[in-house]
Structure 1
């Protein structure tokens, strides 16, 4: 079986800014790539869903099949797993997420916010960007490099401000 990768995603909403972000790593912590992008002002759940959707699209496009997904929004997991959930504002996004998940061998689980600092940092960065960006290991934002290193040694609870 090919190695399992870890996808962490997040969304961020402030008064006039919103964004999403995520990071794809090997289970041992080595970064494969990260992404971030802006959103129009929206509800937090929409930003969280968009962060997940973008990450799933990237996984599908790059042929990553075995994925462990971690999100810090328990509501997101409940929405994805509940086939009876209906909310017109996010119906099509949820459908796209479920379609993308159907092509993967995945596990989705909740992680506390303190364990999701890399994705959180990217979502905040995304809220300030003009367009979606993808980062590889050579062009990761400096603050993200530091957070990845802290995450590897188990100090992920230190939050970037």
Structure 2
């Protein structure tokens, strides 16, 4: 079986900032690349879609076709699976995502926010950047290093209350 990757993605919308971020890991949970980017003001679902598209492009351009996608936005999954989620304002980006997914062997599933902490951190980092950025294992943003370690041992998935 060809190697597979796990892609976690998130969007972030604040009072005056919008951004997205994501993390791509191999089947051993080793970080391959992380990405973050600022966006112009938009809806959070657009930020989620843009982040997913960026992650899919990275996977596809790296030659990986087996992708496990995890997101904490159920609407994003409904849009991708076309389950009663009609968003005509996002038609072109949805089409790009679906076209890219059509050449990949993928699964997409919902995770709770705690399980998406690394992508959430990167989405927030994106709001402080001036342009789209990618980071490898050798130059991970300092704020992300501890979260990656906690995620690798499963401590981020614990839900309280």
Shorter chain as denominator, the TM-score bin is over 0.9
The structure 1 segments of at least 4 consecutive aligned residues displaced by more than 6 Å after TM superposition are: none
* Corresponding residue for residue 123 of structure 2: 123
Return the TM-score normalized by structure 2: 0.94
Cα distance 1:93–1:154, how it changes in 2: closer, same or farther (>3 A)?
same
Matches within 5 A, 1:58-97: 58-82=58-82, 85-97=85-97
Q: Which runs of 5+ in 1 are unaligned?
A: none
CA distance in 1, matches of 2:109, 2:84: 20
Instruction: Tell me what 2:104 maps to.
Output: 104
Q: State the match for 1:22 in structure 2.
A: 22
1:138 is paired with a residue whose SS is helix
Q: Secondary structure at the match of 1:10?
A: strand
Hey, what's the Cα distance between the residues in 1 that align with 2:52 and 2:113? Answer: 15
- The CA RMSD over aligned residues, in Å, is 1.3
Deviation string 1:35-68 (CA, Å, 9 cap, x unpaired) is: 0000011111001111101001111111111000
Unpaired stretches in structure 2, ≥5 consecutive residues? none
User: TM-score scaled to structure 1, two decimals?
Assistant: 0.94
Residue in 1 that maps onto 2:145:
145
Which deviations, in whole Å up to 9, do the C-alpha atoms of 1:62-108 show, x marking residues without a partner? 11110000000011000111176432321111000000101101000
Residue-pair matches, total:
158
